[in-house]
Amino acid sequence: MGIHGDNQGIVATGDHTTNTQITIPVEALRPVGEVAAPPGTINVPGAGHMFVGRAEDLAALDAALRPDSGEGSGRVAVAAVHGLGGVGKSALAARYATTRATSITANTANAVGAGVDGSPGAGGVNPVWWIVADSAGAVQTGLADLAVALQPELKQALPLEALPQRALAWLAAHQDWLLVADNVTDPADVAVLLDRTLAGRGTMVVTSRLGEGWHRLGARVLRLDVLAESEAIELLTRIAAPDRPVGDGAAELVRELGCLPLAVEQAAAYLHQARISPRAYLERLAEQPAVMYERSARGADAERSIARIWRLTLDQLATTPLAGQLLRVLAWYGAEEIPRTLLEDLAPDIEVEQALGELAAYNMITLTETGITVHRLVQAVARTPDPADPHRRSEDIEAARRRATVLLAEALPGHFEDPNRVAASAEPAEPHHRPDRPRAPRHRHRNHRPPPQPDRPLLEQSRRHRRRGRDAPARLRRI
């Protein structure tokens, strides 16, 4: 076939050849700086979901995102909200984002300069865009959707892989926008987003179970805690019995659930569906904990039970096997702070430190230089066998119970039954030395006790040791 110079248009040869022509509107590819966001560009999920309390947390988030709250007021302001799975990070971000979005349509005199708590702060923004950011691919998908929301004609004008770059260019060229990156599992997945939008004047909220690594993004880090007991009771009542008395045992139930919002919501939905009292739910929880931790009411997201949420967190810790073992051991102690020295014989120091650090990074425990605290509901779930959960096998839980008992028994001073000997001892007894392990320095050994404190007489300390020895089995069983 000959093709001569006077041919115009598309020339195609061969069997089954097809040609597609797309006419791109001129305005589709105009400079991003000239593209204004359509009014009300918002996609926040669950904007109408029930929300209680959190006034201080909302105010702290608002303050963290003010232009003058961080270094370099000319860059994107970032706040990273982290906390235990089910503590309400996404709900807080959604509430904040909805408030910022709706304030732009409110009366200007009331909206401009009004913070989420009514104090002077940032006003309305547009767009307010929510991205599920649990993977790098999900971030790219969310950005592509934003590009189309800003310019619907781009859906046909640009290939899919070019849309995220268009969205990033738009963000870099504009101000007064809010981006929420929800459920980030790796800070690197959103770091690339910030690298491309440094010239912008917007704000970004990140939510994550991970509490480490956010300094690389220049983020203000906010740790979200559980609800106050009064707020937890209010949440339970509004869901379980909006038009009737909630019944007996509400305070006891929210305390048993550790005032964790997802657990309270899960229980409240079950109460509403089954028409039972909080007291009856407590009985079910005692009789069949594994079933109740997994159970969701009809209409609820079956994947959003506390047991499933924490299973995903422990999956992230699979490369640190000791982390799961440690959590199961810690589950058998009380919910009060546990001394770190209790775990010194569990494994080499560096391995214990790494496992504790990983658990703390994912907010499964609270870690200080001297102690460890585990949320009571995390403990309860961790010691409840479930054949469907690889982190809660019966044999592993039983082994952890035995190990927790041994560690506690070994931590008691050899003469704890005699308070007079405790008071008379100026130096701890020589600890039993295991030949298979190097001798630990005396100042770090698990039997070492600091000098008596003025506010805790030796007699009181000795009584405490006696009480710990006598009540050890009960402490190990306590939720």
Give the pLDDT confidence of 231-243 residue by residue, as tens digits.
999 999 999 988 8
Please state, in angstroms and rounded to a whole number, the distance separating the CA atoms of residues 249 and 371: 32
Q: Which domains does the chain have, with CATH numbers?
A: 33-223 (3.40.50.300), 229-304 (1.10.8), 318-427+445-477 (1.10.10)
* Paired strand residues for 203: 77, 178
Partner residues linked to 106 by β-bridges: none
* Burial class (CB within 10 angstroms; exposed 0-12, middle 13-18, buried 19+) of 444: exposed
The pLDDT tens digits of the residues spanning 248-259 come to: 899 999 999 989
- Cβ contacts of 288 within 8 Å, gap of 6 or more: none
CB 202 within 8 A of CB 177: yes
| Calpha distance 65→186 (Å, rounded) | 21
Burial of 359 (0-12, 13-18, 19+ CB in 10 A): buried
- Average pLDDT, integer, range 413-421: 58
The answer, yes or no, to whether residue 121 has pLDDT greater than 70, is no
Q: Which amino acid is at 257?
A: L
DSSP 126: S
Q: How confident is the model at residue 429 (pLDDT cuts 50, 70, 90)?
A: very low
450 DSSP 8-state letter: P
Pairing of strands 77-82, 220-223: parallel
Mean of pLDDT values over 450-458? 35
Which residue type is seen at 380? A
What's the CA gap between 234 and 336, in Å, rounded? 25
- Is the pLDDT assigned to residue 426 strictly greater than 60? no
Distance (Å, whole) CA 374 – CA 337:
8
User: What does 356-380 look like in DSSP terms, one character per residue?
Assistant: HHHHHHTTSSEE-SSEEE--HHHHH
- Residue 90 — very low, low, confident or very high, per pLDDT cuts 50/70/90? very high
Q: How confident is the model at residue 110 (pLDDT cuts 50, 70, 90)?
A: very low
Of residues 10 and 75, more confidently modeled: 75
Average pLDDT, the chain: 77
Q: Please report, rounded to a whole number, the percentage of residues in the chain having pLDDT higher than 70.
A: 71
| Distance in angstroms (rounded) separating the CA atoms of residues 324 and 390 | 10
Give how far Cα 356 sits from Cα of 42, 312, 320, 373, Å.
Answer: 40, 18, 10, 11
Q: Is the pLDDT of residue 33 over 80?
A: yes
User: Average of pLDDT values for 106-114?
Assistant: 38
In which band, very low, low, confident or very high, does the pLDDT at 22 lie, cut at 50, 70 and 90?
low
DSSP code at position 132: E
For residue range 342-367, what is the model confidence (pLDDT) as tens digits? 998 888 989 999 999 999 999 888 99
Map tokens 């560009």 to a residue: 41
172-207 per-position pLDDT tens digit: 889 889 999 999 999 999 988 887 766 668 899 999
- Nearest partner of 144 among 168, 171, 176, judged by Cα: 168
In angstroms, how far is the first alpha carbon of the chain from the final one? 84
Q: Which residue has the higher pLDDT, 139 or 423?
A: 139
pLDDT the model gives residue 204: 92
Q: Does a cis peptide bond (omega within 30 degrees of 0) precede residue 127?
A: yes
CA distance 478 to 460: 23
Tens-digit pLDDT profile for residues 274-330: 888 999 999 988 888 877 877 665 555 655 677 778 888 888 888 888 999 999 999
Residue among 361, 20, 29 at smallest CA distance from 212 = 361
More confident residue, 74 or 351: 351
- Is residue 417 within 8 Å of residue 469, measured between CB atoms? yes
pLDDT at 159: 84
Q: What's the pLDDT at 43?
A: 93
Question: Which of the two residues, 33 and 8, has the higher pLDDT score?
Answer: 33
What is the residue-wise DSSP string for 157-205? HS-GGGHHHHHHHHHHH-EEEEEEEES-S-HHHHHHHHHH-TT-EEEEE
Cα–Cα distance for residue pair 277/268, rounded to 1 Å: 10
Tokens standing for residue 264: 């309270």
Please give the single-letter amino acid code of residue 239: I
- Taking residues 462-471, what's their average pLDDT? 42
Copy the structure tokens of residue 85: 């799975």
